[in-house]
A and B are shown apart, each in its own frame.
Chain A
């Protein structure tokens, strides 16, 4: 079955540092890939998505590229801020641009802490 593996956290960075959160997936075929972010006390929010190989999703300075050859979708940001502190979930889905019609398979999440 489908699965998503993320690097374990917490990841602690200083403000303005470069961020990478690794994500790899296992699936038969080519799913859509997503990064969701969960701020304390809030629900999950879609951060970015990619629907086919070599697509790059980007939003709020975050980027991730769908790499079919390595089955990866690593999240990157060039300069993190304290406000980026949250839990980040990598996910895959099927059926539509954002997997809205089918379930999402999530990784375990990576907590990011950004300090001044």
Chain B
């Protein structure tokens, strides 16, 4: 079974440019999460989707960050415009809420460098 897929794995951009990250969750998982992981820190939740609904986006900086999960499957996280402080790893995770094992499965992440 394929795991959570994220692309790109690495992205280098200049500040003020836009950037987008893509996530394909494990097939059948209804819940999708985007986390931000700064260097030397643990992941912090940005947004959680249940199917196509964003049920927790309280930590998403809405002035520059946006996310969508069309059709309740793939998801895209966008930053526009990017700032130097956005350099971090962006992790996507998915889970099947209500199943016997509600474990969150993580993708490898996208490492963003803003110059």
CB <8 Å contact, B107 and A100: no
Residue on B nearest A107 in the bound complex, by CB: B42
Q: Type the 1/0 row for B93-110, where 1 means its CB is closer than 8 Å to any CB of A.
A: 101111101111111110
- A101:B42 contact, CB within 8 angstroms: no
Inter-chain residue pair count (beta carbon < 8 A) = 68
Does the CB pair A100–B41 fall under 8 Å? Answer: no
Tell yes or no: A89 within 8 A of B by CB.
Answer: yes
Asked whether, in the complex, the Cβ of A104 is within 8 Å of the Cβ of B95, the reply is no
Q: Is B53 interfacial (CB-CB < 8 Å)?
A: no
Q: State the interface size on chain A (CB cutoff 8 A).
A: 23
Determine chain B's interface SS by DSSP, over half rule: loop
A96: interface (CB < 8 Å): yes
CA distance A108 to B38 in the complex (A): 10
In the complex, the answer to whether B42 meets A43 with C-beta atoms within 8 Å is: no
**What is the bound-complex CA distance between A30 and B24, given in angstroms?**
32
User: Residues of A with Cβ closer than 8 Å to B?
Assistant: 4, 36, 41-46, 89, 91, 96-104, 106-109
